[in-house]
Structure 1
């Protein structure tokens, strides 16, 4: 696997008038397949605080725009299913991010597809315990995925993307997949397979999870919020939204991804 450390925003802007509509079509389709698996497992409610973002800007084809739906519920602190794009100018980003409530300490779920301007995928399960010292947690959620990660790491179809943000690199687990691929049917099938595989694993963890002791839930919830807020705010790709839609929309979207203006309260810690 080759590597690139270039800034995605610069690579996308440098691509000029590249039509990436098919990247959005493929990425959005996969994201809906994943949501079809996730929705039946949880009680989810769309947060009305972000009703204005269900469709904003243009349709991505005639101009930049997007859609963001934010959900919460008794077992899910914050779930965002979103896309943003300017399809005739090389820009697409699709998100399914699920942040669980403090009743369990199963890792969260992070999945994204986008352009660099080649298609890229991000697949990870952000940890909720210290992986350096909580060895049982590491052995349960990270180690079993190591061999598969190593297989993908040497797959010549994948070019590893290395974030220029030290913080973003630090929060990725050691089995995170963040890679770009050529835009062809074979590679999209690979991305679909890997995304479904991760969601299936994650949902299995949720099903088998044991409750977190009540006295530890408030601390876990606070850690989750700090992590989610900081990841979203420090994402170097945020500048693409500002360049396409303006700083006000960018700020609104960033806040939506971590739930700054949510109207439905966070899950109970009791």
Structure 2
């Protein structure tokens, strides 16, 4: 197993603030665009008007920062984010696809992030909607299928485990979460793209085959999802870099939009 990364995101960027990662960013963003195309092909989604002012971050600041934020909802999807933020010529980028399902399914939610800090950063996880310690069937069904992949990446010295300094962020990651830094060479990015599509395809299949959640459980499940989504967004270690690029007020509005605090579309009823 390679060395562990214990520094914060902002410390890593500050140590190497002038790396031109434009080419790497374009390749990584291309991965997310292929993934989001699969998602749009599977789900009927509407763009929430709350993200209209965040379609192009270059309009928000005179700095080198750029990005975009698109938030969607639909009958089967409570909240979906496809976004990026950063300054590709100055080391830092951060891009996301996060999906919270509607309450009619108990399938885990989908978490995915790529970035440059300035090395390649990757995060992938299935965010549980049940107690993994108590519900062993749920654990076996949704996490055993990626256990071998997790162990393989742990043994690959090209991937350096990223250990978040934030306690809640670590709690929010399952034992099969992908959270690494790596040199952004083409072979490594090919591996990242392969795993990303395998995880997304697996997740889409789970949704297609899912049994419906009992009606009485759905309201509590929906509120639990939103609470966890809000907590994860508020504790994201990259938020302080967003403040540097765009100012605190704008960054706070971005974060609120990311978790759904500014949404205008109704939440799905799960029927």
Q: Is the 8 A contact 1:58 1:66 kept in 2?
A: no
- Structure 1 residue aligned with 2:81: 80
TM-score with structure 2 setting the length = 0.96
- Structure 2 residue aligned with 1:134: 135
Q: Is the 8 A contact 2:93 2:115 kept in 1?
A: yes
Gaps of 5+ in 2: none
Q: Is the 8 A contact 2:97 2:112 kept in 1?
A: yes
- Structure 2 residue aligned with 1:101: 102
Instruction: Count how many residue pairs are aligned between Structure 1 and Structure 2.
Output: 269
- Structure 1 residue aligned with 2:41: 40
Alignment partners' CA distance in 2, 1:220 and 1:187: 37
Alignment partners' CA distance in 1, 2:237 and 2:181: 17
What secondary structure, in the 3-state scheme, does the structure 2 residue paired with 1:114 have? strand
- Structure 1 residue aligned with 2:8: 7
Alignment partners' CA distance in 1, 2:205 and 2:74: 19
Alignment partners' CA distance in 1, 2:177 and 2:123: 7
TM-score with structure 1 setting the length = 0.96
What secondary structure, in the 3-state scheme, does the structure 2 residue paired with 1:4 have? coil
What secondary structure, in the 3-state scheme, does the structure 2 residue paired with 1:123 have? strand
What secondary structure, in the 3-state scheme, does the structure 1 residue paired with 2:97 have? strand
Alignment partners' CA distance in 2, 1:163 and 1:243: 20
State how 1:111-126 maps to structure 2 within 5 Å. Answer: 111-126=112-127
Q: Is the 8 A contact 2:76 2:270 kept in 1?
A: no
What secondary structure, in the 3-state scheme, does the structure 2 residue paired with 1:57 have? helix
User: Over aligned residues, Cα RMSD in angstroms?
Assistant: 1.4
Gaps of 5+ in 1: none
State how 1:1-270 maps to structure 2 within 5 Å. Answer: 1=1, 2-57=3-58, 63-270=64-271
Q: Is the 8 A contact 2:123 2:178 kept in 1?
A: yes
Q: Is the 8 A contact 1:59 1:66 kept in 2?
A: no
What secondary structure, in the 3-state scheme, does the structure 2 residue paired with 1:29 have? helix
Alignment partners' CA distance in 1, 2:193 and 2:130: 28
Q: Structure 1 58/51 Cα, relative in aligned 2: closer, same or farther at 3 Å?
A: closer
Alignment partners' CA distance in 1, 2:247 and 2:112: 25
What secondary structure, in the 3-state scheme, does the structure 1 residue paired with 2:75 have? coil
What secondary structure, in the 3-state scheme, does the structure 2 residue paired with 1:83 have? strand
